A and B are shown apart, each in its own frame.
Chain A
Amino acid sequence: MVERAVRGLRVVGHRVVNSVWRLGYASRFFSLTLLKSATSFRRFHLTIKEIYFTGVLSLIIIIVSGLFVGMVLGLQGYETLQKYGSAEAVGTLVALSLTRELGPVVAALLFASRAGSAMTAEIGLMKATEQIAAMEMMAVDPIARVIGPRFWGGVISMPLLAAMFSAVGVFGGYLITVVLIGVDEGAFWSQMQNAVDFRQDIVNGVIKSVVFGVAVTAIALFEGYDAPPTAEGVSGATTRTVVTSSLAILGLDFVLTAFMFRGA
């Protein structure tokens, strides 16, 4: 009986110590990545290659989902707003929800599952096939050579992808409400321009997407670097990347929104 309790206590303690340990390791990994990021800018072609893999190859999914999200917002917004006789405000609704929330958040969620998981799997496999150990043997710092460019590639791609998502989404909303349903075009754009503030809405959206970019890439790279060098380990790490970074995006989004839009 007592033995059992002790064993349970030990398991709990082990879990807690383990996760705190991992948190510290992750923080050290993150600060090392930042410290050694000079290489990513001195040899910028490495970063450009990563922008290609994380950014350019995510374009299709970002643009298509942005278009559909904008079209759905247009349809739903029109359905509700026309009950109150203010169907023209649908432009405001679409633009504000995209630039403030949906653009950064949905683009980051897609980015985490499209690019983040790929990054984790790639680095996990590099570790499993001992490429990272080989680099260390050749006195090449894997954090400067492998992790840094991927980190900065992701951080640069994310805000650009989010901006494209929002812009395409607004276009989708325009297609549905103005072209298809026939809301007045002038009112659609002018009400939107009246309500969307450059500093308050668009810049804040960009800040959000930069924060999400840092969070998603840091989590993805750490999970890959920390993955047990087995097939199971890599698959588990990939799953954890998607789950952890999605939760991080939504949590950070709440915190940032609370700071940015305090009902002002």
Chain B
Amino acid sequence: MERTVLDLWVGVFVAAGIAALMVLALKVGNASTTFNMGETYRLTADFDNIGGLKVRAPVKSAGVVVGRVDDIQFDNERFKARVVMKIDRRYQFPKDTAVSILTSGLLGEQYVGLDAGGDSATLKDGETFKITQGAVVLEKLISQFLYNRAAEGGAK
């Protein structure tokens, strides 16, 4: 069996197909950021309301992605949402870091934002954030606004 020109073309075809898959995975998709995360450690946070937060949503501090949401559970004893995050080992956060659920842009996806505090002790694997701020629910915001307006109107 000898090598033929046909083999060359098939080789080009298969290589181009695999290259297209790689482009899709790395340039179009998020495989580069998913696999780039080296060793991680887990931190948890309890929220009153997580809004539309989903598993695999980014965890950002100062706008930089430092980890991803790994798991979301419902704590049936305290009726709160428990969010487990995987944080890159390279980044350590103080014990009094504030966690909030934010939205990127007006219609963007929701992510977890970390605002570092001033404590010198850092959070270890498996520990929990103490200061949390859940997602803003638009309906509650609007009703609060209307209620305040009504209260103002009544005072006049």
A interface list, Cβ under 8 A from B: 45, 48-49, 51-52, 55-56, 59, 84, 86, 95, 99, 156-157, 159-161, 163-164, 166-168, 170, 189, 192-198, 201-202, 205-206, 264
Contacts and interface: CB of A to CB of B under 8 A. Distances in A.
6 tightest CB-CB pairs across the interface, nearest first? Answer: A160-B17, A167-B20, A198-B31, A163-B20, A164-B20, A196-B29
B10 A194 contact: no
Interface string B25-55: 1011111111000000000000000000010
Nearest to A161: B17
Nearest to B3: A45
Contacts of B54: 264
B21 A206 contact: yes
Specify the main secondary structure of chain B where it touches its partner: helix
Contacts of A164: 16-17, 20
A202 B58 CA distance: 19
B24 A163 contact: yes
Of B10, B12, B27, B33, most buried by chain A (CB within 10 Å of CB) is B10
Contacts of B58: 194
A193 B9 contact: no
Contact of A194 (B9, B19, B30): B30
A163 B30 contact: no
Given A52-B10, A56-B13, A160-B13, A86 B105 contact: yes
Nearest to A206: B21
A197 B56 contact: yes
B77 interface: no
A189 B16 contact: no
Contact of B30 (A86, A159, A161, A196): A196
A215 B18 CA distance: 22
B6 A95 contact: no
Interface residues of B, number: 32
A214 to B, nearest CB: 17
Nearest to A264: B54
B10 A51 contact: yes
Given A55-B13, A56-B9, A160-B14, A198 B21 contact: no
B13 A51 contact: yes
B139 interface: no
B65 to A, nearest CB: 9
Contact of B24 (A49, A167, A189): A167
B109 interface: yes
B132 to A, nearest CB: 23
A48 B6 contact: yes
Contacts of B106: 86
Contacts of A206: 21
B152 interface: no
Nearest to A158: B17
A156 B135 CA distance: 46
Contact of B21 (A52, A56, A163, A197): A163
A161 B14 CA distance: 9
A86 B28 CA distance: 19
Nearest to A95: B28
Question: Which of A51, A201, A205 has the most C-beta atoms of chain B within 10 angstroms of its own C-beta?
Answer: A51
Given A86-B105, A197-B56, A99 B24 contact: yes
Residue among B6, B34, B56 with the most chain A CB within 10 A?
A: B6
Contacts of A55: 10, 13, 17
Contacts of B28: 95, 99, 166-167, 170, 192-193, 196, 202
